Chains A and B, each alone.
Chain A
Amino acid sequence: MASVQPDSSAAPLIRVENLCKTYSLDNGINGTVNSQVLYDVSLNINRGEFVAIMGHSGSGKSTLMNLLGCLDTPSSGHYWLAGRDVAALAENELARVRNHTIGFVFQGFNLLKRMTALDNVATPLLYAGVGRAESRRRALELLRQTGLGNFAAYQPNQLSGGQQQRVAISRALVNNPQLILADEPTGNLDTQTSGEIMAVFERLNREQGITIVLVTHENDIAAYAHRLVRLKDGRVVHDGGVTA
Chain B
Amino acid sequence: MNLLAIIGEALRALRLNRLRTGLTMLGMIIGVAAVVLMLSIGQGAQTTVNQAIASMGSNLFIVLPGATSSGAMRQSSGSAQTLTLGDAQAVANLPSIKAVAPIITGTAQLNYGANNWSTVVTGVTPDYFKVRNWSTEDGEVFSDTDFRSAARVVVLGQVIAKNLFGDEDPTGKTIRIKKSPFLVTGVLAAKGQSLDGRDQDDSVFIPLTTGQRQIFGSQFPGTIRFMMVQGKSTEVMEEAESEINQLLRQRHRLAEGMDSDFTVRNMAALAAVATGAAKVMSLMLGAIASVSLLVGGIGIMNIMLVSVTERTREIGIRMAIGANRRAILTQFLLEALVICILGGLAGVALGIGGAWAVSQAADMVVVITLGMVGLAFLFASAVGIFFGFYPARKAAALRPVEALRYE
Contacts and interface: CB of A to CB of B under 8 A. Distances in A.
Given A110-B317, A114-B16, A123-B318, A95 B324 contact: yes
B395 to A, nearest CB: 14
B322 A96 contact: yes
B327 interface: yes
Interface string B12-53: 100010000000000000000000000000000000000000
B258 interface: no
B320 A127 contact: no
Nearest to A63: B401
Contacts of A115: 12
Interface string B314-350: 1011111111111100000000000000000000000
Contacts of A98: 319-322, 400
A127 B401 CA distance: 19
Contacts of B319: 71, 95, 98
B309 to A, nearest CB: 16
Contact of B321 (A113, A114, A123, A131): A123
A243 interface: no
Contacts of A110: 313, 316-317, 320, 404
Nearest to B399: A72
Interface in B296-320: 313-314, 316-320
A187 to B, nearest CB: 15
B322 A99 contact: yes
Q: Which of B5, B322, B327, B399 has the most CB of A within 10 A?
A: B322
Contacts of B320: 69, 71, 98, 104, 110
B114 interface: no
Interface residues of A, number: 29
Nearest to B321: A124
Contact of A104 (B2, B5, B321, B327): B321
Nearest to B12: A115
Given A115-B12, A126-B5, A129-B2, A95 B323 contact: yes
A127 B327 contact: yes
A171 interface: yes
Contacts of B404: 71, 106, 110
A117 B1 CA distance: 21
A106 B16 CA distance: 25
Interface in B354-407: 399-401, 404
A57 to B, nearest CB: 14
A33 interface: no
Contacts of A104: 320-321
Given A71-B320, A112-B317, A126 B400 contact: no
Contacts of A30: none
Interface string A58-69: 000000001001
A95 B325 contact: yes
Nearest to A98: B322
A95 B5 contact: no
Contacts of A106: 404
Interface residues of B, number: 26
Contacts of A230: none
B5 A71 contact: no
A171 B320 CA distance: 11
Interface string A98-134: 1110001010001111110000000110111101100
A107 B334 CA distance: 31
A104 B322 CA distance: 10
Interface string A165-181: 00000010001000000
Interface in A6-20: none
Contacts of A66: 401
Contacts of B9: 126
A24 to B, nearest CB: 13
A168 to B, nearest CB: 10
Contacts of A124: 321-322
Contacts of B401: 66, 71-72
Contacts of A69: 320
A175 B322 CA distance: 10
A162 to B, nearest CB: 19
A96 B314 contact: no
Interface of A: 66, 69, 71-72, 91-92, 95-96, 98-100, 104, 106, 110-115, 123-124, 126-129, 131-132, 171, 175
Interface of B: 1-2, 4-6, 9, 12, 16, 313-314, 316-327, 399-401, 404
- Nearest 3 A/B pairs, CB to CB: A99-B322, A95-B324, A72-B401
26 contacts: A66-B401, A71-B401, A71-B404, A72-B399, A72-B401, A95-B319, A95-B323, A96-B324, A99-B322, A99-B323, A104-B320, A106-B404, A110-B313, A110-B316, A110-B317, A110-B404, A123-B318, A126-B1, A126-B2, A126-B6, A127-B318, A127-B322, A127-B324, A128-B322, A132-B5, A171-B321
Given A95-B322, A127-B321, A128-B322, 20 more contacts: A95-B319, A95-B324, A96-B324, A98-B319, A98-B320, A99-B321, A99-B323, A110-B404, A112-B314, A112-B318, A114-B16, A124-B321, A126-B1, A126-B5, A126-B9, A127-B1, A127-B318, A127-B327, A132-B5, A175-B322
